[in-house]
Structure 1
Amino acid sequence: MKIILTQEVSGLGAPGDIVEVKDGYGRNYLLPQGFAINWTKGAEKQVTVIRRARQAREIRGLEHANEVKAAIEGLKTVSLGARSGAGGRLFGSVTPADVVGAIRAAGGPSIDRRRLDLPAHIKSVGAYTVGVKLHPEVTAKFTLNVTPTK
């Protein structure tokens, strides 16, 4: 059975890969769980769109990862305003998407939110050290300063 993966499947491939699997594995597990779709010519065109989007987000190598690390660490401190109550407790928590938006607003590069290594839930005002795993060998660190807004 020929299928197109929509999510990463361990030992099989990444999103957008066209793979050949046994009929039962595809029909009983991959398709119902939403990990894959049936292969057709039209779906194969969608694969090219998925691959292009993945390549745009992807760090291209160790040298590129070091360049992005230098850009992120050059920011020193990234400020993020969040609504808070008395005592500095936030209404809700800081999400990875919020942090990525703050990095872009500070003039940093666009990164994938799944690469962030946030400390346990950020639920109060203060300074936090955030890591960004850019490559298996390269991790950038910067300070996130969560400030209260009205």
Structure 2
Amino acid sequence: MAKRIQLVLNQDISKLGRNGDLVEVAPGYARNYLLPKKMATFATPGLLKQVERRRELERQRQLELKQQAQEQQATLEKATGLKIAKQVGENEAIFGTVTTQDIVDAIKAAINLEIDKRGITIPDIGKLGTYEAEIKLHSEVTAKINIEVIAS
């Protein structure tokens, strides 16, 4: 059986690796597909150093993002008085629903912090009261906040 060839990927390839990854592939796959389409290049010592430097920079960037997310988490969890006003019917039932955009607006008004609404998870809110919402700020950092739904 032929030996495998080490290549560095120039772009993401599903089931093989991401841009900059060092992979071992069969010689035919490299010669007939990856190299002619410029999806990969031969792994040279200089190229491996560049890849390692890129990985280190990416790791530092991710660490900074995590620190920023932890600071935002502390700010959010200290915040009190997040109120959302909704119209109320019988038995304190609200009309409509409390959306993630409502929560983003309440946070913006209370502590002037921009949050991505796609990272917010809220329970089903159908009545007045206090509810807990989770905000995913980073893959490893999640903040829990209390939201009070009041009558408008």
TM-score normalised to structure 2 length: 0.56
Higher share in strand: 1
For structure 1, the 5+ residue unaligned runs are 1-10, 12-59
What per-residue deviation string (whole Å, max 9, x for no partner) do you get for residues 40-75 of structure 1? Answer: xxxxxxxxxxxxxxxxxxxx6110000111111110
Q: CA deviation at 1:87?
A: 1.1
What CA distance in whole angstroms lies between the structure 1 residues aligned with 2:109 and 2:125?
19
Structure (1 or 2) with the larger CA radius of gyration: 2
Which of the numbers 135, 138, 147 marks the counterpart of 2:138? 135
Specify the code of the residue in structure 2 equivalent to 1:145: E
What CA distance in whole angstroms lies between the structure 2 residues aligned with 1:87 and 1:141?
28
Runs of 4+ in 1 over 6 A off after TM superposition: none
For the 8 Å contact 1:72–1:108, the answer to whether it is kept is no
For the 8 Å contact 1:75–1:108, the answer to whether it is kept is no
What per-residue deviation string (whole Å, max 9, x for no partner) do you get for residues 88-140 of structure 1? Answer: 10111111101110111112411011010111x21211100111011111100
Partner of 2:72: 68
Output aligned runs, 1:1-150, within 5 Å: 61-119=65-123, 121-149=124-152
What CA distance in whole angstroms lies between the structure 2 residues aligned with 1:71 and 1:77?
13
TM-score normalised to structure 1 length: 0.57
For structure 2, the 5+ residue unaligned runs are 1-13, 15-63
Tell me the number of residue pairs that the alignment of Structure 1 and Structure 2 aligns.
Answer: 91
